[in-house]
Structure 1
Amino acid sequence: MRAIQVLEFGGPEVLRPADVPEPRVGEGQILVHVDRAGVNYADTHQAENTYLSRSTVPMVPGGEVVGRTDDGRRVVALVDGGGYAERAAALESQSFEVPDGVDDVSALALIVQGATAWLLLRRTARIEAGETVVVHAGAGGVGSLAVQLAKALGARNVIATASTPEKRELALSLGADVAIDANTPDLVAALRSANGGRRVDVVLDMTGGSITDQSVAALAPFGRLAFYGMASRQAPAPIAPTSLLAHSTTVGGMWLPHAFTVPGLMPRVMTELFGLVEDGSLRVIAGGEYPLSQARRAHEDLRARRTTGKLVLDPSL
């Protein structure tokens, strides 16, 4: 079958089209005939072997697919690699039937980015109505959904950051109250200014480096920073536990695979997200569809911040 294969670790240049054997379906697994494969930042880390879980080569990258099973069910599924291909093996326990009212791109966006946004807000940050929420990369895959979910959960002021005027306009169109330049030199001052001079309650951060450092410094008493990635490839400064006492702040991390270890959690998340899309309360931004053979270009665009919303690959092309 056609797939994208990685024979050595590195940047987007290591993603190459190849013919590979069809995946073997083990106990508790299903075979998915892939209609679309999702593209995530995690995939770029997987290709570099810098992800939280280590990879081995040769490999077929890709962690999410939507398609049909042999018995005709339309499902979206997380896979342990192998998503950038015409067919993929997925655990039944990590597969969810997609309602007719949810399109392929939306289904793919929900199983990783949507679930991530939901868990960050509901579990890690434990948002309360009336709070201020900062969403970094507010026009990205997770960010564009987190902006909408934060408003739906009662946030008083949603502050999005984004790197271009066009991305900031998109964040505002999705419900952000304020959108600021992600590259502003003094982020602490910018966040406080966007919140009427006050510190902020919640920050969702996947950037790392100085963005994380300044976001922690901008937290209000009992504020929470939910950390879920390091797109800048730069680690933030170490946080001494005693420094958290200065404003009674909390810094928490979230990695999506842990949600599958909590009985009933992911089915609840997906059911709620599917419903929000079906009734029009949650809008997925389609960020671009690439032929499978151009997976390298998709990674290049993602890493260069040229994209917004959800990126997908079409294995038929």
Structure 2
Amino acid sequence: MRAVQITRFGGPEVMDVVDLPDPTPGPGQQLYEVSSAGVNFADTHQIENSYLAEQKLPLIPGAEFVGTPVGGGQRVVGLLDGGGYAEKVVAHDFLTWPVPDGVSDEQALAVVLQGSTAWHLLRTSAHLAEGETVVVIAGAGGVGSLAVQLARKWGAGRVVATASSPEKRQLAEELGAHATVDPALADDDPKAFTGALREANGGKPVDIVLEMTGGNVFNGSLAALAPFGRLVTYGMAARQETRSVPPGMLMQKSRAIIGFWLAHCMARPQMMDAAMTDLLAMVDAGELKPVVGGRYPLSAVADAHQDLLARRTTGKLVLDPSR
């Protein structure tokens, strides 16, 4: 089979398309023909070995796929612990879900990891209550574009999104954000970013921030929280160190910082089932509209990563293993 393999850590240039033997399924697993493979920002960390779990070489990146069992059967979307950038994958039965006929590969890939993350950020970690203000950092991205829609659907009183260009800010507003903010304000002065978030909320502090950048964006977001506000951190896109947070700073406003990593939900299949059943049904009914950012040939995987790192993309990026 054709697959993307890395034998050294680094940037997009370390990914090579090679021929490898088909993977062999173990107990409770099946071998699938991949029709589309998903690309996530976390994959750029994986090939650098700069994410939460240490990686071992050689490796095939990729955590999600849409495909059918070898020999035929139901099209499914599934999650993997690696190996997704390939023509064939092996997946655990408890981490695959049937894809309704009315849902495209790209839409299914948008919700399986990024959608499930958005679902659990709001439901499980932030415990969104009706009427609360939600700030979505990177509101035009894969997770953010779905989090904006879910927050509106679940009764947020006001949704504020950040996005790095006028086009992305317009998209976030079309998806349901009441107001948008340029995150570049945080580059030199976190206080300016804090002020912009509060201004976008009518001059008031905010209740929830979904944050995946780190650095000054994290610091400015934390300062924008109201009493009993929650900042849920689920990424490190800026690749910057974030200052330590003294307990007194949290106590002064009864603020909370909550970490989230979807891998812990994958270890509890019922948590993934709850999110995926809900998300796929909403997409099939037209109630949730994933943003598809682009389809790349497997041979152009480096271009997909470069576009993602340069913030040239919106929504979900996918790879076509047949090309």
Q: Structure 1 length normalisation: TM-score?
A: 0.98
Are 2:239 and 1:239 aligned?
A: no
1:183-242 residue CA offsets vs partner (Å, 9 max, x unmatched): 124110001100111000000000000100110000000000010000011121111222
Distance 1:290 1:79 in 2: 20
Distance 1:298 1:103 in 2: 20
Q: CA deviation at 1:293?
A: 0.4
1:99-153 residue CA offsets vs partner (Å, 9 max, x unmatched): 1121100111111000000000001100000010000000000000000000001
Distance 2:47 2:24 in 1: 22
Distance 1:281 1:236 in 2: 37
Matches within 5 A, 1:132-147: 132-147=133-148
Distance 1:262 1:251 in 2: 23
SS at match of 1:204: strand
* One of 188, 199, 222 as aligned partner of 2:228: 222
Pick which of 110-119 and 240-249 moved more.
240-249
Q: CA deviation at 1:263?
A: 5.0
The match for 1:262 is 268
Aligned length: 317
Q: CA deviation at 1:61?
A: 0.6
The match for 2:62 is 62
SS at match of 2:32: strand
Task: Note the aligned Cα RMSD (angstroms).
Answer: 0.9
Distance 1:297 1:281 in 2: 32
The match for 1:72 is 73
Contact residue 173 and residue 180 of structure 2 kept, 8 A: yes
1:68-90 residue CA offsets vs partner (Å, 9 max, x unmatched): 01341111111121100000011
Q: CA deviation at 1:280?
A: 1.1
The match for 2:115 is 114
The match for 2:299 is 293
Matches within 5 A, 1:193-204: 193-204=199-210
SS at match of 2:222: helix
Q: Percent identity?
A: 55
Are 2:6 and 1:15 aligned?
A: no
Q: Which aligned runs of 4 or more in structure 1 are off by greater than 3 angstroms? A: none
SS at match of 2:47: helix
Distance 2:248 2:95 in 1: 39
Distance 2:92 2:55 in 1: 19
Distance 1:171 1:263 in 2: 31
SS at match of 2:312: coil
Distance 1:49 1:92 in 2: 28
Q: CA deviation at 1:261?
A: 2.9
Structure 2 residue identity aligned to 1:120: L
Distance 1:155 1:96 in 2: 29
Contact residue 94 and residue 269 of structure 2 kept, 8 A: no
The match for 2:24 is 24
SS at match of 1:53: coil
The match for 2:159 is 158
1:140-182 residue CA offsets vs partner (Å, 9 max, x unmatched): 0000000000000100110000000000000000000001111
Distance 2:310 2:271 in 1: 34
* Structure 2: gaps of 5 or more residues: 187-191
The match for 1:90 is 91
Distance 2:247 2:107 in 1: 39
Q: Structure 2 length normalisation: TM-score?
A: 0.97
Structure 1 residue identity aligned to 2:283: V
Distance 1:51 1:253 in 2: 14
Distance 2:183 2:242 in 1: 16
The match for 1:2 is 2
Distance 2:250 2:301 in 1: 42
Structure 1 residue identity aligned to 2:60: V
